[in-house]
Amino acid sequence: MSPSRKLRVATVSLAGCFGCHMSLLDIDEHVFALLDKVELDRSPLTDLKTCGPCDIGLVEGGVCNSENVHVLREFRAQCKTLVAMGACAINGGLPAQRNHLDVGQCLSAVFQSRPGMDTAEVPDDPELPLPLDKVHPIHEVVRVDYFLPGCPPSGEAIWQFISDLLAGRTPRVSYPLLHFD
Amino acid sequence: MSRSTFLLDGQSVPFDDGQMILEAARAAGRYIPHLCWHPDFPPHGSCKLCVVKVAGRHVSACATPARAGAEVESDTPEINTERRTLLQMLFVEGNHFCPACEKSGDCQLQAMAYDLEMTTPRFRHFFPDRPVDASHPEVLLDFNRCIYCELCVRASREQDGKAVFALTGRGINKKLAVNAESGRLADTDFAADDKAARICPVGVILKKRVGFAVPIGERTYDRAPLHEVALPKPEGDT
Ligand code: SF4
Ligand code: SF4
Ligand code: FES
């Protein structure tokens, strides 16, 4: 690798709330240092819809539907280093709180029996990805290289983690930056 | 008279006859991780987080008497990896959604995961179905987070003289039960100032209406790591 080549980074939010991406923007002026060293591939920040070969993939959110599975597999195939960023990617997080409920009952409760909803049916447009019966942490679907906990991880934790990765060190988030909440 | 000593990670620790490795280490200001052990109760030996290596064998430091001249390994990559694996199993066995847990920041399980740098639960989650019991006017039971340390069972039986809690079932079917015909906490003589109401190391037994009185970020283990907080305060300190 030539010393001047920028690292390619892709990011995605699967079953997440974009909080981790907001936290990524919370690295404040470090964003300049970051953009000196990386260029973005597929990401909500570029709006590219497919992922090319990348050095690092940051995945926010767990896997709750068929589209999440495809995107996650694409990331794993294209990214040399794949990172589970935030609680939902690591353990399913908030979306996984539906895991002890029946997904069919959830859908009918929302679309068929809630007062004021004017659809009598659960939407079934072929464009809509099918929900999975359970929400899964991403390591249950693909191999994951590193995990960055937090809901969301703080900007500071993200910056330390990414700095380690960019410098070729094993990333390490320890006390007091390591948080599950 | 000089006391006998053993070596903990190469450093000498004095002990009294009959004292367990964990207790002697603690008295000497040395931390060995523990979840089911509590200074007010005899050792329970269930969580195994206190695992140490003595003469090639892995033993529970809370329930193994110290022996003169023994070489005890505790803070080593091998033993800490084993502890991390135990923690990971505890996390996937229950439902630990820390961001919504009132105990977050005050929880020993979580704080130990921080100490041991557990960044992933690694295993497949069980996502068990464990309904909460909100029947009691002052205390909520969220069974999703129980690690079956039996501290509440022991405290209620031995200190409160009530026997409000019991463990039933075995292995993965183990459950924390409430001793009432209805199974509900409201139908027992449990009170919010019982010892059992304050002893849970995780977020199962929670006092109502004070959950977020101390904000996240300013709680016990936000301020200092478990391996410091868990040691007895030196004499004269408050
Ligand atoms: S009991 Fe502890 S580990 Fe479990 S959810 Fe609550 S804070 Fe997290
Ligand atoms: S409720 Fe708390 S104290 Fe009781 S067994 Fe479960 S984890 Fe231990
Ligand atoms: S502290 Fe020794 S087994 Fe739990």
Pairwise CB contact (< 8 Å): B99 & A97: no
Closest residue in A to B221 (Cα–Cα): A176
Residues A74, A77, A81: CA angle, nearest 5 degrees: 110
> From CA B154, how far away is CA B187, in angstroms rounded?
19
Closest by CA to B209, choosing from B136, B118, B128, is B136
Residue type, A160: Q
Q: Does B4-75 match B97-226 in CATH topology?
A: no
Residues A68 and A135: beta-carbon distance below 8 Å = no
* Structure confidence at residue B237 (pLDDT): 52
Q: Tell me the sheet residues that pair with B157.
A: none
Is the predicted pLDDT of residue A3 greater than 60, yes or no? no
Distance from CA of B105 to the nearest CA of A (A): 8
The residue-averaged pLDDT of B179-188 equals: 98
Pairwise CB contact (< 8 Å): B225 & A149: no
What is the B14 CA–ligand 2 centroid distance (Å)? 32
The residue-averaged pLDDT of A145-150 equals: 98
Return the CATH number of the domain spanning residue range B4-75. 3.10.20.740
Residues A95 and A87: beta-carbon distance below 8 Å = no
Q: In this predicted complex, what is the ipTM?
A: 0.93
Tokens of B24: 């002697």
Is the predicted pLDDT of residue B179 greater than 50, yes or no? yes
Assign B143 a pLDDT band (cuts: 50, 70, 90). very high
Residues B109, B110, B111: CA angle, nearest 5 degrees: 95
Query: Which CATH class name applies to B97-226?
Result: alpha beta
* Structure confidence at residue B171 (pLDDT): 85
The domain locations on chain B are: 4-75, 97-226
What is the A173 CA–ligand 1 centroid distance (Å)? 19
Residues belonging to chain B: 238
> From CA B160, how far away is CA B145, in angstroms rounded?
23
Strands A54-60 and A7-13, how do they pair? parallel
Average pLDDT, chain A: 94
* Structure confidence at residue B238 (pLDDT): 47
The residue-averaged pLDDT of B85-91 equals: 98
Contacts of A172 in chain B (CB under 8 A): 117
Q: Tell me the sheet residues that pair with A62.
A: A15
Residues B217, B222, B223: CA angle, nearest 5 degrees: 115
Assign B90 a pLDDT band (cuts: 50, 70, 90). very high
> From CA B113, how far away is CA B129, in angstroms rounded?
23
Distance of CA B146 to the CA centre of its chain: 10
Taking the CA of residue B79 as centre, how many other CA atoms within 13 Å lie in the half-sphere pointing to its CB? 22
* Structure confidence at residue B190 (pLDDT): 98
Residue with tokens 């959830």: A106
Outline where chain A has alpha helix (H).
Answer: 19-25, 30-37, 66-78, 87-91, 103-111, 155-166
What are the tens digits of pLDDT across the range B93-141? Answer: 999 999 999 999 999 999 999 999 999 999 999 999 999 999 999 999 9
Is B109 close to ligand 3, i.e. is its CB under 6 Å away? no
Is B61 or A1 the better-scoring residue by pLDDT?
B61
- Max CA pair span of chain B: 58
| pTM, full prediction | 0.95
> From CA B113, how far away is CA B105, in angstroms rounded?
12
What are the tens digits of pLDDT across the range B10-22? Answer: 999 999 999 999 9
Atom 3 in ligand 1: residue holding the nearest Cα: B110
Closest residue in B to A99 (Cα–Cα): B127
The residue-averaged pLDDT of B178-196 equals: 97
What is the B94 CA–ligand 1 centroid distance (Å)? 10
Is the predicted pLDDT of residue B72 greater than 80, yes or no? yes
Domains (range + CATH), chain A:
7-96+133-173 (3.40.50.700)
Is the predicted pLDDT of residue B2 greater than 80, yes or no? no
Is the predicted pLDDT of residue B144 greater than 70, yes or no? yes
Contacts of B222 in chain A (CB under 8 A): 176
> From CA A125, how far away is CA A147, in angstroms rounded?
35
Contacts of B97 in chain A (CB under 8 A): 87, 91, 93-94, 96-97
> From CA B20, how far away is CA B26, in angstroms rounded?
10
Residue with tokens 């509440």: B152
What are the tens digits of pLDDT across the range A72-121? Answer: 999 999 999 999 999 999 999 999 999 999 999 999 888 888 777 766 78
